[in-house]
Structure 1
Amino acid sequence: MGSQAKFHSISEFLGNRGQMFSDLKDLLDWHFDRMSDAEREIMHWLAVNREPVSYPELKEDILSPLSRKELPSALHFLLRGLPIEKRGKCFTIQPVLMEHMTDRLIGQETV
């Protein structure tokens, strides 16, 4: 009976995946909407690059002079607030964030 209860629980879990992904998207959108322009631009470039990038590479990618000036503080804030990974001297984002940011970028292009 314990196995059936677990299976029922897993089945129920799998049946609610769509809602969980929707909730996750809403949560990520909520965080993104509260970011500064510099933080958004960093997140966009980390998603576009797809691979870990160094600070000088990221600074070169940033287009806005204001965002480039704010890069150190914005990156520091993102490292504390989101699952940005620092690998040695390079930065990247988790795959789920990368896909979410890519979807947002694609959505902006179609508007």
Structure 2
Amino acid sequence: MIALNGETISIVLFFVGVYGLIARRNIIKSIMSISIMQVAIILYFVSTNAAPGSVPPIGDVNQMLLAADPLPQALMITDIVIGIGVTAAGLTLFIHLYHRFGSTNWQKVMKKRNRHD
């Protein structure tokens, strides 16, 4: 049986996001799938960096040899902020497309867009 650790869960989540991106024609579901993929990548990097017995890299100087590497954690915090910005931009574009074309379906929006151009 496959062990349910952070890496396994993140890989499954990533492919759930890929499936949602490929199989769904709804713009909102596509944006949600991209967010799921981003969370899966963050979970993967955080879980691969976590060594057994490591402590947070703050506080007591005597335990700094056991401290976890702070660089991946800082990069993942940056990635979370960038992901929020990308999701907000995607939702803003969705609202604009919905007001302009009146649909949440990618194919209907593309057909109506080709008629407008």
Q: TM-score, normalised by structure 2?
A: 0.27
With a CA cutoff of 8 Å and minimum separation of 6, indicate the structure with the bigger relative contact order.
1
Q: Which has the higher strand share?
A: 1
User: TM-score when scaled to structure 1?
Assistant: 0.28
